[in-house]
Amino acid sequence: MAINDVYVPFSDLHAQYLTIKTDIDEAIAEVIRTSAFIRGPFVERFESAFAELMNAQHCVSCANGTDSLYIAMHALGVKAGDEVIAPAHSWISTTETISQLGAKVVFCDTDPDTHTIDPTKISALITPRTVGIVPVHLFGQPADMDSIMALARPNGLWVLEDCAQAHLARYKGQLVGTFGDAASFSFYPGKNLGAMGDAGAVTTNDADLARRMAMFARHGGLTKGDHQIEGINSRLDGLQAAILSVKLRHLTHWTHARQQLAAVYQERLAGIAGVRLPVVAQGREPVWHLYVIRHERRDALAAHLKSRGIQTVVNYPVALPFLPCYKSLSHQPSDFPNAHHDQSRILSLPIFPEMTHEQIEYVASSIAAFGNGTLNTKEAHGDCMMPSGNF
Ligand SMILES: *Cc1c(COP(=O)(O)O)cnc(C)c1O
């Protein structure tokens, strides 16, 4: 139970809905009234609004963020025998889609500060079979795009930016997603721009790539009955598109709210013994999809916060190369020392645009209490989830 009867959820989608309820309800009613469930005006309107906000010429919407990676890499020509370089720390979608196209996943370790792919370790991984790189702007932290592009271009590699956690993040003033050949986005409900179900999109400035992606996502044909190739069925539906169009108008404001909350955490948690704060590299503007600290006694800290009614998450508990599905690659911790080091130390704290001042202060003071060992009697006597012997 929460000690002060404060409950801080990891995120609060219902609180967000309540702030825009009238517009969302009207948008949903309008889709139902016009039965524009698949394709149609709501999808087209969202695609152009999203392309405009992301500073891209084309947006191809699809069923979810995982499909957006799959569709983009299919259109980029990924096939059996190819090798694709991806970071060792990400959500499984980034790499499972590489394997599903028959290519080999080549993991690259992460940079210890930003958790994004370490460009200094990419060169050594490039072989004659390498076709592309998938940098991930993990947690909303921009990857080092200048260094990545400088490696990709002379080697003839394409770059697909996984922007699932990074809508509106900037690198040297430029929006992420505009550096590579294409950018994939997820609108999973909990993402910075979230639908009320599954949804995703790819953006690009390459008209021919956009046409091939749209074709593949729609059974291989852009007009009914005209199947140029065999494709898949991956569509953004009208209801989700209408919901996303309403939410898109608030994305800039919500992003600022996340940035302000992150600034509060950075200030309040600075100097607390044992807490390693997220590092913002020079010239990067993260959008804080996740606010991730590191702590040597991560699980004890998480249990302590839980006992105070604070929900935390580990994104992700096992780095990709060490998951059972990649066992056949026989990777060792020493292959990816930074990603491996992080997996047992990272902890994502609550952060969402509607988070109150009281909530964030409570989280910060609860972390400070753990660091200082200033526990009240109730906790000290074990009426919480703290393992004994930690103080
Ligand atoms: C969420 C996410 C995806 C996949 O998106 P879904 O919409 O859940 O399929 C891909 N990559 C990263 C980094 C993500 O966080």
Q: What is the CATH number of the domain that holds 110?
A: 3.40.640.10
Query: Is residue 388 in a domain?
Result: no
Tell me the CATH number at 291. 3.90.1150.10
**233 and 344 share one domain:** no
**Which atom of ligand 1 is the closest one to the Cα of 93?**
10
Residues with C-beta less than 6 Å from any ligand 1 atom:
64-66, 90-91, 93-94, 136, 162, 164-165, 186, 188, 198, 200
**209 and 92 share one domain:** yes
- 349 φ/ψ angles, rounded to the nearest 5 degrees: -90, 160
The Cα 354–Cα 228 span in angstroms is 47
**Which atom of ligand 1 is the closest one to the Cα of 188?**
7
**34 and 180 share one domain:** yes
**132 and 264 share one domain:** no
Token code pair at residue 157: 């590699």
The parent domain of residue 26 ranges over: 14-248
pLDDT at residue 385, as a whole number: 36
Query: Is residue 154 in a domain?
Result: yes
**Residues 6 or more apart from 299 whose CB is under 8 A from it?**
none
Distance from Cα 65 to the centre of ligand 1, integer Å: 5
Count of structural domains, the chain: 2
pLDDT at residue 224, as a whole number: 86
**pTM (two decimals):** 0.94
**Which atom of ligand 1 is the closest one to the Cα of 198?**
7
Contact 183, 65 (CB under 8 A): no
- Boundary-marking domain end, from 197, 220, 248: 248
Distance from Cα 316 to the centre of ligand 1, integer Å: 13
- Boundary-marking domain end, from 228, 248, 268: 248
pLDDT at residue 386, as a whole number: 34
pLDDT at residue 136, as a whole number: 98
Residue with token string 């409950």 = 7
Distance from Cα 92 to the centre of ligand 1, integer Å: 8
Query: Is residue 170 in a domain?
Result: yes
**345 and 233 share one domain:** no
pLDDT at residue 373, as a whole number: 57
- 183 φ/ψ angles, rounded to the nearest 5 degrees: -135, 135
**Residues 6 or more apart from 16 whose CB is under 8 A from it?**
254, 352, 353, 354
- Boundary-marking domain end, from 209, 228, 248: 248
**215 and 345 share one domain:** no
Distance from Cα 369 to the centre of ligand 1, integer Å: 34
Report the nearest-CA residue for atom 5 of ligand 1: 65
pLDDT at residue 247, as a whole number: 98
**272 and 225 share one domain:** no
**Which atom of ligand 1 is the closest one to the Cα of 165?**
15
Distance from Cα 280 to the centre of ligand 1, integer Å: 22
pLDDT at residue 371, as a whole number: 72
**Which atom of ligand 1 is the closest one to the Cα of 67?**
9
pLDDT at residue 225, as a whole number: 87
Distance from Cα 320 to the centre of ligand 1, integer Å: 14
Report the nearest-CA residue for atom 2 of ligand 1: 164
Q: Which residues of 198-225 are buried (b: 16+ CB within 10 A; e: fewer)?
A: bbbbbbbebeebbebbbbbbbbebeeee
Distance from Cα 139 to the centre of ligand 1, integer Å: 11
**200 and 271 share one domain:** no
Distance from Cα 359 to the centre of ligand 1, integer Å: 27
pLDDT at residue 383, as a whole number: 35
**315 and 355 share one domain:** yes
**112 and 255 share one domain:** no
pLDDT at residue 390, as a whole number: 28
Residues of the chain with pLDDT under 50: 1-2, 374-391
pLDDT digits (tens, 9 = 90+) for 297-339: 999 999 999 999 999 999 999 999 999 999 999 999 999 999 9
- Residue of 62, 64, 90, 91 best suited for mutating to test ligand 1, as the one with most atoms within 8 Å of CB: 91
Distance from Cα 91 to the centre of ligand 1, integer Å: 6
